[in-house]
Amino acid sequence: MTTTAATAATTPADGAFLKAVRGEPVPHTPVWFMRQAGRSLPEYLAVREGVGMLESCMRPELVVEITMQPVRRYGVDAAIFFSDIVLPLKAVGVDLDIVPGVGPVVASPVRTLADVEAIPDLTPEHVPFITEAVAGLVSELGATPLIGFAGAPFTVASYLVEGGPSKDHARTKAMMFGAPDVWDALMRKIAGIAAAYLEVQVAAGASAVQLFDSWAGALTPDDYRTAVMPHSARVLAAAGELGVPRIHFGVGTANLLGLMGEAGADVVGVDWRTPLPAAIAQVGDRAIQGNLDPTLVFAPTEVMTARAAEVIEAGRAARGHVFNLGHGVIPATDPDQLKRLTEFVQGYRL
Ligand code: 1CP
């Protein structure tokens, strides 16, 4: 069904993004990009000049501006709240920083039960700037939905236990295998913080939430099921009780997509390594999100759009499909190429 009236949504609920998430007919395949705000945009680099990453996340006027930048430039079907998965930890008092060119760095990594117990639970009083930024955004966005987000317990635990970015997550998994009581306490702690953080965003007006379990692909299905999934499920259940749809995303999750859906997702995010038909077979009657290889924007436009068309066509077999890249926008991406990709997806006749 392609009509002008259907395209001109007047509220987020009428728009292509939430329709696809609910598995309803859409005027076009909705599209947004993970990390659509940020270093690929000159206007982002301009407003961030001299302002630290975490500081920028705590200044509502900057969060509103940075979140709006890709919406203005690309006309994407959803905005993603500008923040970071470690921001709620910073807000409750964990000594950490986001170091340029590195990522989150934690001053005293978490290793013992006492370390876990020293982390306070999150209450709305820790994050008044989030409430203010979301409320400001919702009024500025009008009919464009805002996606709130949190880091999933495993991925956030990795930063807390390793003390910074890690390739193999060895210390984190060593705790999971060897100190189950500490692990369980840590996962419960982070799940509680994530659920409370999402609740603040939804209460202030976010239309959907995404749980980022970026590094879950480091786990076997059995370890994921027993040591991680129950904690992510708790976060997703809490968000579900607020009445918003939940997207659940990770990288390298070819063998986990079914479980990530069962954890309580309405939409399962798929990285670019898993063909959509294989992903759809695993997630069953759920919507999917993804999954163009983020490097295809560096290819000639007609190569990129031909691959995008394949993704859109494959997505038609799912209950609903939200177009995205298979992971975040690479910083060197040409914004004009993302604009062409957005127009191609929105103009593609289903
Ligand atoms: O100074 C800067 O610009 C720092 C770069 C940066 C940015 C722009 C970081 C540091 N975080 C962010 C914003 C951010 N982080 C967003 C909002 C922007 C948008 O999507 O438009 C979101 C959703 C995140 C979430 C995030 N942070 C994830 C999950 C998503 C993913 O990419 O898998 C993860 C793993 C992080 C940790 C993190 N923060 C920053 C970096 C460089 C990293 C990754 C470090 C690593 O490789 O472990």
Domain range list for the chain: 5-256
Choosing among 3.40.30.10, 3.40.47.10, 3.20.20.210, 3.30.1330.100, the CATH entry for 5-256 is: 3.20.20.210
Give me ligand 1 centre to Cα 103, in Å: 7
Residue 1: band (very low, low, confident or very high) from pLDDT cuts 50, 70, 90: very low
* Catalytic (active site) residue 349: no
Interval 248-265: pLDDT, tens: 999 999 999 999 999 999
* pTM score: 0.96
Residue 7: per-residue pLDDT = 53
Spatial contact of 68 and 137, defined as CB atoms under 8 Å apart: yes
Which residue bears the tokens 């062409």? 340
Residue 8: per-residue pLDDT = 72
Closest alpha carbon to 86 in 182, 162, 10: 162
The radius of gyration of the chain from alpha carbons, rounded to an integer in Å, stands at 19
For the chain, the average pLDDT equals: 96
Is the predicted pLDDT of residue 175 greater than 50, yes or no?
A: yes
Provide, rounded to the nearest whole percent, the portion of the chain with pLDDT above 70: 98
Closest alpha carbon to 87 in 193, 211, 189, 242: 193
Ligand 1, atom 41: closest residue by C-alpha = 103
| Mean of pLDDT values over 319-334 | 97
Residue 3: per-residue pLDDT = 42
Residue 108, both tokens: 């005293």
Pocket test for ligand 1, best of 84, 197, 247 (most atoms within 8 A of CB): 84
| Mean of pLDDT values over 65-85 | 98
Out of 159, 266, 271, 286, pick the active-site residue.
Answer: 159
Closest alpha carbon to 282 in 263, 255, 264, 319: 255
Give me ligand 1 centre to Cα 317, in Å: 31
Provide, rounded to the nearest whole percent, the portion of the chain with pLDDT above 90: 97
Name all residues whose Cβ lies below 6 A of ligand 1. 34-39, 53, 80, 82-85, 98, 100, 103-104, 149, 155, 165, 212, 214, 328
For 125, other C-beta atoms within 10 Å of its C-beta total 7
- For residue 1, with 0-12 CB atoms within 10 Å meaning exposed, 13-18 middle and 19 or more buried, which class applies? exposed
